Chain A
Amino acid sequence: EVQLVQSGAEIKKPGESLKISCKGSGYTFTTYRIAWVRQKPGKGLEWMGIVHPDGYDTRYSQSFQGEVSLSVDKSITTAYLQWSSLKASDTAIYYCARHNTGLDYWGQGTLVTVSP
């Protein structure tokens, strides 16, 4: 069974750093890219970027370029989304998803709350 399991909810202060994770299982991890999607409370889906598990061809949406960093450790079949300095506007649910012919499997989401 294909699964993407994300790390738990986080509460952070503005300016703090954060790294959340997404562990894939049940499939050949290196075959499919992992995308990250943001959903602010009550809002739509925003494509943040995508990374290949071999570490090449990482792409970022213009809206997120320079704001976040995507990485992968294929030895433990885990993808990461990282911030160096969080803002209150980063409060959202963050999803990882496997990119096939579309995003066919999704993680359960990680709620990130940034508040003073």
Chain B
Amino acid sequence: EIVLTQSPGTLSLSPGERATLSCRASQSVPGNHLVWYRQKPGQVPRLLIYDASSRATGIPGRFSGSGSGTDFSLTISSLEPEDFAVYYCQQHGASHHTFGQGTKLEIK
């Protein structure tokens, strides 16, 4: 199974700042089928980005994804209060899908 490693584990930033989260795969993700989710405390995860760089329906433009092969990133251009949460990457290119361990984005 493809192992996804997210970094950093915790990111401390202030509202209005730019955040960049990383997701590295143990082998190339077929089709670059890499997605990103945000999970606020006590809530269900929400799909943000699919196929590495496409925004899901209703996701604001401050969220962008990039990367291919084994290295992917999620950028939030200007943090809003609701963005302080945990972010997960997931690949579904291989037959067994896997999640990264998550990055917690906290208020500095």
Interface residues on A, range: 20 to 34
> Contact: B56 with A44, CB < 8 Å?
no
> Contact: B35 with A61, CB < 8 Å?
no
* Interface, chain B (partner A; CB < 8 A): 1, 33, 35, 37, 39, 44-47, 50-51, 54, 56-57, 86, 88, 90, 92, 95-102
- Interface of chain A, helix or strand or loop or mixed? strand
| CB-contact partner of A45 in B56, B57, B88, under 8 A | B88
Complex A-B: 13 CB contacts under 8 Å: A35-B97, A37-B99, A45-B37, A47-B98, A59-B96, A61-B1, A61-B96, A101-B54, A102-B90, A103-B47, A104-B47, A106-B45, A108-B44
In the complex, what residues of A have CB within 8 A of residue B47's CB? 102-104
Q: How far does the alpha carbon of A76 sit from the alpha carbon of B51 in the complex, in Å?
A: 31
Q: In chain B, what residue has the closest Cβ to A4?
A: B44
A99 at the interface (CB under 8 A from B): yes
Decide yes or no: A46 and B54 within 8 Å by CB, A106-B45, A109-B44 being known contacts. Answer: no
> Contact: B102 with A50, CB < 8 Å?
no
A89 at the interface (CB under 8 A from B): no
